[in-house]
Amino acid sequence: MFDFLKRKQNTEETPVPLPSETPQSGVFARLKQSLAKTRAGFTHSLAHLLFGKKELNADLFAEIEKVLLTADVGVKTTDQLMQILTTKLARKELDNTEAAFHCLQEEMKRILRPCSQPFSIPNTIKPYVILLVGINGSGKTTTIGKLAHYFKQDQKNVLLAAGDTFRAAAIEQLQRWGERNHVPVIAQQKGADTAAVIYDAMAAAQARQVDILLADTAGRLHTQSNLMAELQKVKRVLTKIDPTAPHEVLIVLDASLGQNALNQVKQFHDAIGLSGIILTKLDGTAKGGAIFAIAQQTQLPIRFIGVGEGIEDLRPFQADEFVDALFTD
């Protein structure tokens, strides 16, 4: 992963593809492309900082710390990473800059691995209800459309619930996604009661023996207590049909918000109880480093990441693959 530093020393050398790039070159390349802005501000900055330097000292560590903070890795996570580097240096476990680079890479994988949990739908629960929540503009409705495509590729029967009744455009958008995926959508008119719409969708999903119900909700700020109470009402209504529903409550986060996304997670989790995170718009931001702070401080599974605008650009999160893509030129 440090190879692109070495290539600077010999520009005529033909780079050899890394092993992790060959099995699924197209998929891995797409992830690398989506992280280009974050990599430019983070990995390339580290490369420029460490290239040609042999001595590890306090001044160099201070510069590494600055790079981590600039990439929006977060104060707490950065402090932890720097403490590990400092301890390893004191124990003489790091003897050069390449070792420090590899150490950072491995420690970042270690932070993300607990949040990298395969998303599996048990066959014993039908319908499996997934409730999508988040603030305005996070990409919930689009994410639901992409999730519908993802689950249909896995041969699942899917039903959509247009629970964002505050915006007529949201209902129409979800209906377009339904048509695109050949998936039915349960919807009512603008201004209808969200809990009633999702309740009707749940009843329809049961009657039709649907595998998965994806329920949209209106975007709301985490500080709007009345709207957060509405989400609690949705949960209560669903339990009248199935005491275990919803089976997943996923918050959709816009990666470009960086550290600000942490407050959203905490407030939504306190209000409704989250089971996981979907991080969208990674391809359009240099703040992808925030994923490390989100993982460390929330400990919630990161179920999916959005790496582009295409229908197949929502993919299950894999910690090692993510870090390898971040550190590979």
DSSP assignment of 105-165 equals: HHHHHHHHGGG-------TTSSSEEEEEE--TTS-HHHHHHHHHHHHHHTT--EEEE----
CATH no. for 128-317? 3.40.50.300
Q: Which amino acid is at 219?
A: G
Binned average pLDDT, 10 residues per bin, the chain of 329 residues: 39 33 62 86 81 78 91 92 94 89 94 92 94 92 96 96 91 96 96 96 97 94 79 94 96 89 90 95 86 93 92 93 89
Which sign, positive or negative, has the C-alpha torsion 227, 231, 232, 238? positive
Q: Which residues pair with 248 in a beta bridge?
A: 130
Q: In angstroms, rounded to a whole number, what is the distance separating the alpha carbons of residues 231 and 189?
A: 19
The CATH number for 3-13+23-115, chosen from 3.40.190.10, 1.20.120.140, 3.40.630.30, 1.10.274.10, is 1.20.120.140
pTM for the structure as a whole: 0.88
Please give the structure tokens belonging to residue 119.
């998303």
pLDDT digits (tens, 9 = 90+) for 11-64: 333 332 333 334 455 778 888 888 888 888 888 888 888 776 668 888 889 999
What pLDDT score does 98 carry? 86
Q: In angstroms, rounded to a whole number, what is the distance separating the alpha carbons of residues 241 and 125?
A: 13
78: three-class secondary structure by DSSP: helix
Domain positions in the chain: 3-13+23-115, 128-317
Q: Is 116 left (phi over 0), alpha (psi -120 to 50) or beta?
A: beta
Give the residue from 111, 33, 44, 110 showing the smallest Cα distance to 71.
Answer: 44
Q: Which amino acid is at 100?
A: A
What pLDDT score does 2 carry? 37
